[in-house]
Amino acid sequence: MVSAKLSFVIIEYNCLENIYVCVDSILSACKKIPCEIVISSNSVYSQEKQALLQEAMPHIKWVFNKNNKGFASGMNAGIVNTSGEIIVLLNPDLEIAHGSMQKAVDYLMAHQSVGLMGPRVVDQKGNIQDSCRKFMTLKELFLRVYIRIFHGKDVLIAPEFDYTSIQTVDWVIGAFIMVKRNALEQVGLLDPNYFLYVEDMDWCKRFWNHGFQVMYYPLLEVVYKADRKSISVLISKKLFNKHTFYHLKSYLRFLLKNKFKVAQKSQNSINKMESDTNYVKA
């Protein structure tokens, strides 16, 4: 067992009802692990509301941002107020389910080459979500959009991917990410130029570029209640909404930033860690 302090950073934007549940799940999962919880709020609450929140949750470190500059900027504001050896970024509409935070901590600290890690993600019905993916080319992006519009498919689970095995992946979604501080200090914070979406893929790409592995770790499971705003209207009504445009704009920025060089870093995302595949299939 590795002794390491965890710093949880939760982004908050007018969703206090989710915050209380999320915080309770963290405290339940970390009963024997020293941890701190930082909530970075983009809601621009009044001074009176801020005081009430701090009084209601005195064990939480609140960061009240003066304006909403987006997900990456809000997360960065929380990260710089942490002190743990491992920083965990998570969305408020997420709960840590069965699985062991301690095992995840031990694994991350024991593998020097791993800088960033994501868990197995399921929805409220227990269905596996596509939480780890390959870097997409522009052609693959348009194919993904086409499938969602004309075939009405939402979550695109990769049929060849083994969601029960610990393995390297190109990138993991930002709903729940564990990062080593010493790796973060080399890679840097999230790119604040992404207002919403793709900042997680960009970050993982930068970890790979700095020589760190990005790992999928299914021994830890989280329940994610995401509403997937960027594609819900796209699928149901064949229309683009503002979230869809945020998503496409961010991905095009990612391609331009990387000069369209987005080759896979993780050996086709199926580089299994055979010695650690003691996960029991659901």
The CATH number covering residue 122 comes to: 3.90.550.10
> Which range among 71-80, 97-106, 196-205, 249-258 has the greatest average pLDDT?
71-80
Decide: helix, strand or coil at residue 102: helix
CB atoms within 10 A of CB 47: 8
What's the confidence (pLDDT) of residue 254? 86
Contacts of 245 (CB under 8 A, 6+ apart): none
pLDDT (tens digit per residue) in 20-39: 999 999 999 998 899 999 99
Q: Which of 89-93, 144-148, 265-269 reaches the highest mean pLDDT?
A: 89-93
Whether 162 is covered by a domain: the verdict is: yes
Q: What is the pLDDT of residues 175-200, one digit of tens each?
A: 999 999 999 999 999 999 998 899 99
| CB-based burial label for 132 (10 Å; 0-12, 13-18, 19+) | buried
How far apart, in whole angstroms, are the C-alpha atoms of residue 141 and residue 253?
13
**pLDDT for residue 251:** 85
pLDDT at 15 over 60: yes
* Euclidean distance between CA atoms 208 and 212, whole angstroms: 5
Phi–psi pair at 187, nearest 5 degrees: -80, -40
Q: What was the pLDDT predicted at 151?
A: 57
Q: Is 1 among the domain residues? A: no
- The pLDDT value given to residue 255: 85
**To the nearest 10°, the Cα dihedral for 181, 187, 188, 191?**
-130
Please give the residue that has the higher pLDDT: either 259 or 107.
Answer: 107
Q: At 38, which helix (H) or strand (E)?
A: strand 35-41
Of residues 64, 58, 9, 54, the one with CA closest to residue 35: 9
Residue 66 lies in a domain: yes
Residue 244's SS3 state is helix
Structural domains of the chain, count: 1
C-beta atoms surrounding 175 within 10 Å:
20
Continuous H helices in the chain: 16-29, 47-56, 71-79, 101-110, 138-150, 181-187, 199-209, 229-237, 242-257
Specify which residues 172 forms β-bridges with.
Answer: 132
- pLDDT single digits (tens) 124-146: 999 999 899 888 777 777 777 66
Average pLDDT over residues 193-217: 95
Residue 282 included in any domain: no
Q: Is residue 80's pLDDT more than 80? A: yes
Specify if 180 maps to a domain: yes
From 146, 91, 83, 145, select the one nearest 121 (Cα to Cα): 91
Integer Cα distance of 192 and 183 in angstroms: 19
Higher local confidence (pLDDT), 103 or 226: 103
Q: Which two tokens stand for residue 2?
A: 């590795």
Residue 281 maps to a domain: no
The neighbouring-strand residues paired with 221 are 120
* Backbone torsions φ then ψ of 194, nearest 5 degrees: -90, 115
211 lies in a domain? yes
Beta bridge partners of 213: 114
Contact 15, 44 (CB under 8 A): no
- The token pair at 100 is 């062991």
Structural domain harbouring 128: 6-276
> Is there a domain that residue 40 lies in?
yes
Per residue in 156-179, pLDDT (tens digit) is: 577 788 999 999 999 999 999 999
pLDDT tens, position by position, 240-266 = 567 677 778 888 888 888 877 776 666
Q: What is the pLDDT of residues 27-71, one digit of tens each?
A: 999 988 999 999 999 999 999 999 999 999 999 999 999 999 999
Contacts of 236 (CB under 8 A, 6+ apart): none
* Percent of the residues in the chain that have a pLDDT greater than 90, as a whole number: 63
Is the confidence at residue 118, as pLDDT, over 70? yes
